[in-house]
């Protein structure tokens, strides 16, 4: 996931000579050094800070085809209610287009930057951009209402966030800001840092894409209600009260490939139905997934659950798809259900899907459960090693020390999840190698059977604790005495 630096800064003091050369092809620019109305198309450049302005609307843009370049200077108000640092609207109610605001510091307004129709018109403001601004101490940092096809990029919004309403086609990319989206559709929220900024919240929305955002350290990382056909993918959500919250009437959404860890609730649903939750890593949360208040008909499969409590569900949901060829979330060859850290059943036929203790209900799934829980295959758990002639008795196989063929190595122990007792025997080969494959996580004792005329130079009995996916090497050295 792309990272976004915190505290984006804007370098002030670009000279007007340079601006004249770089003013995006314009033959000239118009200099601004105080609050003003912009009523005609052109490029406007701020040439001084505006501090403690008592204006209700500092820069008031009522024309299409305007570039406003702050040149790193500040537009500062008094924080009074109903004031605007930058206000973009058409008093005729017909909407504006191609308004580009960049390189500004906007502080102490009720609305920092506002694009819309100012409660008058019925036509959207469209095709503009808001780029490389630093916005702080405002009730609302950036607000778009009744807009379409805007781009918001590289803005740092310390307070007030980015707020989009009744809008579509917006691309919100690489900003440091909390983000809210309401009554909107076909917007893209990508590669933003919303950590400790309130996260991402959307309501009464459809067909939006929310991907590769860092939304950690909030009360809610990503929160939805009345949301339809949206995609939440590849987001990082950690250290929050709830990682991803699916509220009432959240339906037909796809939640996939997210990293959701160290939250109170990883995924929490209250009244959300018919969503697909797949391929997420949900770990180290108090509750991995919590489905309540008529959360029904959600499809939950191919997720990795390793939490204090993996699941809680009092509705009627679907916890697996039918067995399907494909790489699953733990690297197995079949898609089916989910990986559960507390599943104690067995994969009898070796396909990486559990056949016992099903449907698996994680103790807190009231109706049904996972009929095809994912199990790590035995290839992940191997103990191997070599028996060797330790001529100098230093306990390490040095150059020239040969392997010992036809020595008996024994393994005894208990599988972690099933409690099953395991006893195995292996014989060292021509090079002294032995292997115990097909092991499951557990605690084992590895020992060699001593031969007359030899003394061990390493401990002949070794304890081994196999964790999930772990392989271990245990070598045995012996010195011939006659």
Give the span between the Cα atoms of 14 and 17, in whole angstroms: 8
pTM: 0.74
pLDDT at 92: 78
pLDDT at 417: 66
Chain Cα centroid distance, residue 197: 16
Kindly state which CATH superfamily the domain 379-480 is placed in.
Immunoglobulins (2.60.40.10)
Tens of pLDDT along the chain (482 residues) come to 333 333 333 333 433 334 444 444 444 789 999 999 999 999 999 999 999 999 999 999 999 999 999 999 999 999 999 999 999 988 877 889 999 999 999 999 999 999 987 554 457 899 999 999 999 988 999 999 999 999 999 999 999 999 999 999 999 999 999 999 999 999 999 999 999 999 999 999 999 999 999 999 999 999 999 999 999 999 999 999 999 999 999 999 999 999 999 999 999 999 999 999 999 999 999 999 999 999 999 999 999 999 999 999 999 999 999 999 998 998 888 999 999 999 999 888 888 999 999 999 998 999 999 999 999 765 457 899 999 999 999 999 999 999 999 999 999 998 876 677 888 888 998 889 998 877 878 899 999 999 999 999 999 999 998 887 778 999 999 999 86
What is the Cβ-side half-sphere exposure of residue 331, based on CA atoms within 13 angstroms? 7
pLDDT at 380: 56
Dihedral sign, CA of 22, 25, 28, 33? negative
Any idea where the domains of the chain sit in the sequence?
1-192, 194-375, 379-480
The two structure tokens encoding residue 115 = 């694009």
CB 225 within 8 A of CB 248: yes
Dihedral sign, CA of 233, 235, 238, 240? negative
Rg (CA), the chain: 31
Q: What is the 3-state secondary structure (H, E, C) of the chain?
A: CCCCCCCCCCCCCCCHHHHHHHCCCCCCCEEECCCEEECCCEEEEECCCECCCCCCEEEEECCCCEEEECCCCEEECCCCCCCEEEEECCCCCCCCECEEEECCEEECCCEEEEECCCCCCCCCEECCEEECCEEECCCEEEEEECEECCEEECCEECCCCEEEECCECCEEECCECCEEEECCECCEEECCECCCCCCEEEEEEECCEEECCECCCCCEEEEEEEEECCEEECCEEECCCEEEEECCCCECCEEECCEEECCCEEEEEECCECCEEECCEEECCCEEEEEECCCCCCEEECCEEECCEEEEECCCCECCCCCEECCCCCCCCEECCCEECCCCCCCCCCCCECCCCCCECCCCECCCCECCCECCCHHHCEEEEEEEECCCCCCCCCCCCCECCCCEEEEEEEECCCCCEEEEEEECCCCCEEEECCCCCEEEEEEECCCCCEEECCCCEEEEEECCCCEEECCEEEEECC
pLDDT at 18: 41
Give the span between the Cα atoms of 338 and 360, in whole angstroms: 10
């Amino acid at each position: 996931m792309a990272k976004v630096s915190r505290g984006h800064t804007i370098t002030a003091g670009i000279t007007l000579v340079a601006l004249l050369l770089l003013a995006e092809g314009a033959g000239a620019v118009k200099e601004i050094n105080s609050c003003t109305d912009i009523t005609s198309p052109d490029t406007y450049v701020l040439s001084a800070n505006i501090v403690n302005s008592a204006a209700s609307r500092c820069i008031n843009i009522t024309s299409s085809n305007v570039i406003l370049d702050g040149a790193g200077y500040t537009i500062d108000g008094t924080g009074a209610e109903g004031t605007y640092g930058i206000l973009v609207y058409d008093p005729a109610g017909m909407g504006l287009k191609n308004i580009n605001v960049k390189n500004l510091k906007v502080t102490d307004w009720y609305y920092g930057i506002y694009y819309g129709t100012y409660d008058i018109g019925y036509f959207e403001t469209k095709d503009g951009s808001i780029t490389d601004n630093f916005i702080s101490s405002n009730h609302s940092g950036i607000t778009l209402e009744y807009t379409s096809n805007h781009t918001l990029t590289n803005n740092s919004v310390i307070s007030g966030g980015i707020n989009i309403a009744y809008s579509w086609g917006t691309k919100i990319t690489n900003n440091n800001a909390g983000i809210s989206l309401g009554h909107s559709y076909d917007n893209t929220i990508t590669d933003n840092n919303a950590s400790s900024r309130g996260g991402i919240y959307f309501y009464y929305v459809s067909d939006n894409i929310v991907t590769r955002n860092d939304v950690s350290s909030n009360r809610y990382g990503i929160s939805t209600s009345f949301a339809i056909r949206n995609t939440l993918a590849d987001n990082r959500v950690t250290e929050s009260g709830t990682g991803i919250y699916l509220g009432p009437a959240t339906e037909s959404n796809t939640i996939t490939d997210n990293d959701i860890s160290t939250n109170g609730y990883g995924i929490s649903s209250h009244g959300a139905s018919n969503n697909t939750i797949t391929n997420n890593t949900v770990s180290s949360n108090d509750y991995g997934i919590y489905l309540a208040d008529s959360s029904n008909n959600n499809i939950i499969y191919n997720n990795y659950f390793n939490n204090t409590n993996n699941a809680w569900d009092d509705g009627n949901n679907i916890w697996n798809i039918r067995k399907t060829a494909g790489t699953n979330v733990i690297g197995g060859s079949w898609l089916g259900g989910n990986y559960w850290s507390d599943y104690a059943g067995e994969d009898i036929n070796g396909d990486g899907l559990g056949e016992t203790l099903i449907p698996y209900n994680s103790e807190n799934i009231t109706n049904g459960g996972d009929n095809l829980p994912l199990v790590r295959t035995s290839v992940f758990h191997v103990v191997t090693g070599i028996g060797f002639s330790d001529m100098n008795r230093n306990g390490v196989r040095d150059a020239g020390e040969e392997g010992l063929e036809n020595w008996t190595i024994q393994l005894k122990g208990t599988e972690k999840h099933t409690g099953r007792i395991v006893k195995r025997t292996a014989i060292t080969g021509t090079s002294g190698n032995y292997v115990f494959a097909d092991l499951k996580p557990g605690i084992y004792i590895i020992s060699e059977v001593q031969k007359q005329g030899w003394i061990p130079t390493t401990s002949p009995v070794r304890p081994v604790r196999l964790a999930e996916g772990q392989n271990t090497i245990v070598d045995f050295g012996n010195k011939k005495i006659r």
